Chain A
Amino acid sequence: MYGYSGKILHIDLTTGKDWVESKPEEWYKTYIGGVSMASRLCWENIEVGCDPLSAGNPICIAGGLFAGTPVPVGGKYGMASKSPLTGFIGDSLSGSWLAVGLKRSGWDGIVVHGSSDKWVSIFIDDNKVSIRDASHLIGLGTSDTEEAIREEYGDDQLRVASIGPAGENLVRIANVSNDGRKAGRTGQGAVWGAKRLKAMAIRGTQGVAVHDPETLLKLSYDILQAAQGPHTQKYRVLGTSSNVLNMNKLGLLPTHNYQEGTFEDAELMSGEYLHEHYKAKTIACAQCPIACEQVGHVKEGPYAGAIGHIEYESLYALGSNCGLSDMAAAIKAIANCNELGLDTMSGGVTISWAFECYERGVFSKEDFSCEKYPEGFEANFGNGEAVVALTEMIAHQEGYMGKLLAQGTRRASQQVDEERGTESYKWAMNIKGLETPGYDARSLKTFALGLAVGTRGGCHNRSAAYDPDIKGEVDRFSVDETRGRLAKSTEEYAAVYDTLPLCKFIRRCFTGKADRAGAWPAIANLINATTGWDFDYDDVDMIGERAFTIKKAFNIREGWTRDDDHLPYRWQHDKMTLGPSAGHLVTDEELKYLKDIYYEAKGWTNDGLIPREKLISLGMDDVAEEIGV
């Protein structure tokens, strides 16, 4: 078998034992890698119904089919466990050298079971596994942890994933960091923290052999060349922050906790402005010829020295959504999140929820009391100092507010509403508990559906349903019978990329066209040259449907019902007053209709459950046994 070793590594932190599981080729053809394989490993290894922060919830890491080969943007891995935010599948993806180290160490995936009674790090040295004491690393930020581990093992080439203080403190919006990249969403960092796993280091020294290196090199070279052309220009030049002004113009840029979709200081947050004033370096993920990551460096003022990644999703969350015009403060907040191991998106949206609570009188100044500010502080929109302070308070669960916000918006609003008889859930911006992304869906009706039915909650990466809305292929302000099919088609499209995994920014570099007809045959060629398989268009297409299905199956087994496919209260009841999205909502009737036609398009029941025959037709017979109807 080329492209895979056929082996999954299991490590039990309760017993300290490790063992090897062999998987047949058919299993790999079904689940491939990335989020699909990671979710499947989670399906196989979790204690059904367990508390996400208990020993029964495994950390499941799945490599990339193309990791360690020259296939551009293939250096990614998937990580899944039951999310402490949503209680459903938490599948994260990260572009990172860890994926390459994993491939070269000879493992297709890693499952970490159990939990340790003291802090540990795992060291995977090719086929040898050791578990070491990590108590001396506790409290360290993510880059310092990586450095310390490399120093400890005496090798700069070690690939390290780690959690920061946020993960250690079981903050539900904590992430896992590796080489400055993150498995960012759904609170994976807290799952690591609950296992007392501070870090995982991998040294993989083995070469990666592929079925047909000559063909793979030629295909890769052509993609690499295309990736220097117009198809990736916006990513290469300004990075994702080039979206800021577009989103603002369309009335989609989350502002003041999604009260509005246009921000008066959007210009200051634009890729153009940040590039000129803060950009210090452009960085690539593993084996990526695009290099979208723009590193911002604050040179002067109170936040001098802060180095943070300038990316759209971090910017809307900690910038416009918190009302921030001071980009030095935003970069400092991003830098804090990166080092403390906090998801910038959930972090920003949770902070903006607290700001709105403060402005509406739910919270007083004293509620924000902490060691640095014993009297608390004014938590108004636009207060950069407050945003920066809150990132630290959340990560350390410091004070009343730190402890409260560490739970994310859903739990925090529930607690506050219970304690104070308020209705703060009305502006808690989450879906299934995961905070919403940087595109306001009140005027993106296809995307609203894609988000509502998303298996991991409010996430723009797992559904590309904003695409037909924003491109004007459909009327984004209204609903029609095509949207069910579109939501299915765009989520499965995204899932193909997330499963291989390949970064979606390469999608136009195969033939110039990003659609299935443009990309799937080229991707099939890459798969075949790597593995020696005989994949065609339909086989590639099926990767996405299977990926989405295993995640949905996981959720069903954990108790998902139709009501869990919801939207934030605000998107259904509060209208914006400014910009092109003003006056629009997704009504209850619309949402019900959209869900009906989506489940129908998926071939599911009207309750959103999956028929046995459907699962069997996807080659998932054992899943059909458990949850098929």
Chain B
Amino acid sequence: MPTSTSKYQYIACDPEKCVGCQICEYICSQTKTGEFNTFRSRIRTVRAHKVLITAVACRTCEDAPCVIACPRDALSQDPATGIIHIDANRCDGCAWCIEACDFGAISLNPATKLAEICNQCEDLEDGPQCVKWCPKEALELTTPDRRAQRARRSLAVEEVIGPR
């Protein structure tokens, strides 16, 4: 599985907690488009197997391949947050960014045929709405480093105290 090289925050999903209800998609599409349509969501749940469900949104890669791939310079990355911005005036829906993304985190708007991507609801005071609504607290805005810290800690607990 490809891994992000990001130092930035992104929306991560814990597959052990995710139940596949897709409420994140409803809320994302409503927040971004004003209607409920999971096809327009910037976060996507994935039912990979009968016992494996997770959700994927933009991983804010460093030197993001989607930005590099765009032949029209429609994509740019905020150097402070890592968030990808798409200039709708420049995007012509060629989908190179979609192919460049290892995570499948970019999608085309079926109506306008322009690319759309998670921006962590950076314009909203209470932050990413999917995180706020996730009933199982499976989603969080975090960094790879923070996740690594947690992994080390749970490993230590498991080795010394035993499995949960």
Contact A287 B22, beta carbon cutoff 8 Å: yes
> Does B38 lie at the interface of the complex (its beta carbon under 8 Å from any beta carbon of A)?
yes
Taking the closest CB of chain B, its distance from the CB of A440, in whole angstroms, is 32
Taking the closest CB of chain B, its distance from the CB of A353, in whole angstroms, is 30
Quick check: which of A207-215, A451-459, A489-497, A562-570 contacts chain B, the rest being far away? A207-215
Determine the distance from Cα of A272 to Cα of B120 in the docked complex, in whole angstroms: 39
Tell me the residues in window 68-99 of chain A with beta carbons closer than 8 Å to chain B beta carbons: 68-70, 72, 97
Identify B51's interface contact among A69, A97, A290, A295, CB under 8 A. A295
Contact B40 A207, beta carbon cutoff 8 Å: yes
Taking the closest CB of chain B, its distance from the CB of A530, in whole angstroms, is 11
> Does A286 lie at the interface of the complex (its beta carbon under 8 Å from any beta carbon of B)?
yes
Residue of B nearest to A227 (CB): B135
Taking the closest CB of chain A, its distance from the CB of B43, in whole angstroms, is 14
Contact A217 B53, beta carbon cutoff 8 Å: no
- On chain B, the residues within 8 Å of A442 by CB distance are none
- On chain B, the residues within 8 Å of A205 by CB distance are 37, 39, 110
Contact B50 A143, beta carbon cutoff 8 Å: yes
Contacts A224-B133, A224-B135, A307-B50; is A208 near B23 (CB within 8 Å)?
A: no
The contact string, 1 if C-beta is below 8 Å from chain A, for chain B 36-59, is 111110000001001111000000
The contact string, 1 if C-beta is below 8 Å from chain B, for chain A 525-549, is 0000000000000000000000000
Determine the distance from Cα of A297 to Cα of B26 in the docked complex, in whole angstroms: 30
Taking the closest CB of chain B, its distance from the CB of A231, in whole angstroms, is 13
Contact A295 B35, beta carbon cutoff 8 Å: no
- On chain B, the residues within 8 Å of A227 by CB distance are 135
Contact A69 B50, beta carbon cutoff 8 Å: no
Determine the distance from Cα of A282 to Cα of B16 in the docked complex, in whole angstroms: 9
Tell me the residues in window 293-328 of chain A with beta carbons closer than 8 Å to chain B beta carbons: 295, 297, 307
> Does A608 lie at the interface of the complex (its beta carbon under 8 Å from any beta carbon of B)?
no
Contact B30 A297, beta carbon cutoff 8 Å: no
- On chain B, the residues within 8 Å of A70 by CB distance are 23, 26-27, 30, 36, 133
Contacts A283-B19, A287-B21; is A180 near B34 (CB within 8 Å)?
A: no
Residue of A nearest to B33 (CB): A207
Contact A289 B21, beta carbon cutoff 8 Å: yes
> Does A284 lie at the interface of the complex (its beta carbon under 8 Å from any beta carbon of B)?
yes
Majority DSSP secondary structure for residues of A touching B: loop
Tell me the residues in window 1-45 of chain B with beta carbons closer than 8 Å to chain A beta carbons: 19-23, 26-27, 29-30, 33-40
Residue of A nearest to B135 (CB): A289
Tell me the residues in window 221-271 of chain A with beta carbons closer than 8 Å to chain B beta carbons: 221, 224, 227-228
B: contact size bracket: 20 to 34
- On chain A, the residues within 8 Å of B33 by CB distance are 207
- On chain A, the residues within 8 Å of B147 by CB distance are none
- On chain B, the residues within 8 Å of A224 by CB distance are 23, 133, 135
> Does B72 lie at the interface of the complex (its beta carbon under 8 Å from any beta carbon of A)?
no
Which residue among A69, A207, A221, A286 has the maximum number of chain B CB atoms within 10 Å of its CB? A207
Contacts A281-B52, A291-B19, A307-B50; is A69 near B36 (CB within 8 Å)?
A: yes
Taking the closest CB of chain A, its distance from the CB of B163, in whole angstroms, is 12
Taking the closest CB of chain A, its distance from the CB of B93, in whole angstroms, is 16
Tell me the residues in window 96-130 of chain A with beta carbons closer than 8 Å to chain B beta carbons: 97, 100, 104
Contact A287 B23, beta carbon cutoff 8 Å: yes
Contacts A286-B22, A287-B23, A289-B23; is A307 near B35 (CB within 8 Å)?
A: no
Determine the distance from Cα of A307 to Cα of B52 in the docked complex, in whole angstroms: 12
Contact A287 B51, beta carbon cutoff 8 Å: no
Taking the closest CB of chain B, its distance from the CB of A191, in whole angstroms, is 27
- On chain A, the residues within 8 Å of B52 by CB distance are 281
Q: How many residues of A contact B (CB 8 A)?
A: 38
Determine the distance from Cα of A221 to Cα of B133 in the docked complex, in whole angstroms: 7
Taking the closest CB of chain A, its distance from the CB of B48, in whole angstroms, is 10
> Does B150 lie at the interface of the complex (its beta carbon under 8 Å from any beta carbon of A)?
no
Contact B21 A291, beta carbon cutoff 8 Å: yes
Contacts A224-B23, A281-B51, A284-B21; is A100 near B38 (CB within 8 Å)?
A: yes
- On chain B, the residues within 8 Å of A180 by CB distance are 50
Determine the distance from Cα of A450 to Cα of B110 in the docked complex, in whole angstroms: 49
Contact A207 B19, beta carbon cutoff 8 Å: no
Determine the distance from Cα of A379 to Cα of B7 in the docked complex, in whole angstroms: 63
Contact B37 A104, beta carbon cutoff 8 Å: yes
> Does A280 lie at the interface of the complex (its beta carbon under 8 Å from any beta carbon of B)?
yes
- On chain A, the residues within 8 Å of B35 by CB distance are 207-209
Taking the closest CB of chain A, its distance from the CB of B132, in whole angstroms, is 8
Identify B20's interface contact among A104, A213, A284, A297, CB under 8 A. A284
- On chain A, the residues within 8 Å of B133 by CB distance are 70, 221, 224
- On chain B, the residues within 8 Å of A217 by CB distance are 30
Taking the closest CB of chain B, its distance from the CB of A516, in whole angstroms, is 26
> Does A561 lie at the interface of the complex (its beta carbon under 8 Å from any beta carbon of B)?
no
Contact A206 B37, beta carbon cutoff 8 Å: yes
> Does A288 lie at the interface of the complex (its beta carbon under 8 Å from any beta carbon of B)?
yes
> Does A482 lie at the interface of the complex (its beta carbon under 8 Å from any beta carbon of B)?
no
Determine the distance from Cα of A58 to Cα of B37 in the docked complex, in whole angstroms: 30
> Does B113 lie at the interface of the complex (its beta carbon under 8 Å from any beta carbon of A)?
no
- On chain B, the residues within 8 Å of A14 by CB distance are none
Contact B50 A281, beta carbon cutoff 8 Å: yes
Contact B19 A282, beta carbon cutoff 8 Å: yes
Determine the distance from Cα of A224 to Cα of B19 in the docked complex, in whole angstroms: 14
Contacts A70-B36, A227-B135; is A213 near B30 (CB within 8 Å)?
A: yes
Tell me the residues in window 47-101 of chain B with beta carbons closer than 8 Å to chain A beta carbons: 47, 50-53
- On chain B, the residues within 8 Å of A208 by CB distance are 35-37
- On chain B, the residues within 8 Å of A100 by CB distance are 38
Taking the closest CB of chain A, its distance from the CB of B118, in whole angstroms, is 18
- On chain A, the residues within 8 Å of B22 by CB distance are 97, 286-287
Determine the distance from Cα of A285 to Cα of B53 in the docked complex, in whole angstroms: 12
Determine the distance from Cα of A494 to Cα of B40 in the docked complex, in whole angstroms: 34
> Does A157 lie at the interface of the complex (its beta carbon under 8 Å from any beta carbon of B)?
yes
A-B contact pairs, 25 of them (CB 8 A): A68-B36, A70-B23, A70-B133, A157-B39, A205-B39, A208-B36, A209-B35, A217-B30, A224-B133, A228-B135, A280-B51, A281-B52, A283-B19, A285-B21, A286-B21, A286-B22, A289-B21, A289-B135, A289-B136, A291-B19, A291-B21, A291-B136, A295-B51, A297-B51, A307-B50
Q: Which residues of B contact A (CB under 8 A)?
A: 19-23, 26-27, 29-30, 33-40, 47, 50-53, 110, 133, 135-136
Q: Which 9 pairs, one residue from A and one from B, show the smallest C-beta to C-beta distance?
A: A207-B35, A289-B135, A207-B37, A291-B19, A284-B21, A284-B19, A281-B51, A208-B36, A280-B51
